[in-house]
Amino acid sequence: MAKDTPEVLLMAPERHRSDRIGWLRAAVLGANDGIVSTASLIVGVAAAGTAPHEILITGAAGLVAGAMSMAAGEYVSVSSQADTEQADLARERVELATNIEFEREELAAIYVSRGLQPELARQVAEQLMARDALGSHAREELGITEMLRARPVQAALASAGTFAVGAALPLVMVLVASPERLIATVSLSSLLFLVSLGVLAAGVGGSGVLKGALRVGF
């Protein structure tokens, strides 16, 4: 006997790489800056004829200072984004509380602009707002989603941690390279590290590995 109501198939949510955007951007930026700035600092100091142990101390100081700077910069900049998001959400809460009918029509108009028939768009807007009015408007009107929301602490930690890792790579080269070949060793190895970073970031982000390697290496 056929059922009167259609069955609803429950499917496991797909995993997308977009949920990595926040920390991946900060991580790639941190590691890239760690390699480039520390290698440049080491090469500059070495070119002045500085002793290897002094070069190592200078590079270590650059690592600590750079990691702190990256963490603070990421936290402040991403916090500004988070503050803007919260301000927009607060305004939306007021509008939903004072003129919900207008907000319903506004949401329906968004779906009409995306191709739905007006009647269906109104039904979709009503059902979504009945379940989560603020979330629906945040997502459709403001473009704010849980996946892409600003996370200052996450960005700060990712940037500082990866900067420290990136900066440590040229420092290791100082330890293993002979003094007369230190500049060439640090320069060439840092270029290799950057290319490897591009490959790793592309792999995690799901983009073309060759493109990522050439972009970061360049």
| Closest residue by Cα to residue 67 from 21, 22, 33 | 33
Between the CA of residue 188 and those of 19, 124, 132, 154, 197, what are the distances in Å?
34, 58, 55, 32, 14
Query: Using CA atoms, how far apart are residues 104 and 129, in angstroms rounded to an integer?
Result: 7
Query: Using CA atoms, how far apart are residues 146 and 165, in angstroms rounded to an integer?
Result: 29
Q: pLDDT tens across 134-182, in order?
A: 988 888 888 887 766 778 888 888 889 999 999 999 999 999 988 889 9
Query: Using CA atoms, how far apart are residues 184 and 198, in angstroms rounded to an integer?
Result: 21
Query: Using CA atoms, how far apart are residues 95 and 36, in angstroms rounded to an integer?
Result: 48
Provide, rounded to the nearest whole percent, the portion of the chain with pLDDT above 70: 87
Q: Which tokens belong to 145?
A: 């989603």
Task: Write out the chain's pLDDT in tens, 218 residues.
Answer: 444 545 545 454 555 455 555 567 777 888 889 999 999 999 999 998 888 889 999 999 999 999 999 899 989 988 998 899 899 999 999 999 999 899 999 999 999 998 999 999 999 999 989 998 898 888 888 888 776 677 888 888 888 999 999 999 999 999 998 888 999 999 999 999 998 888 887 777 677 788 878 887 88
Q: Which tokens belong to 68?
A: 């702190």
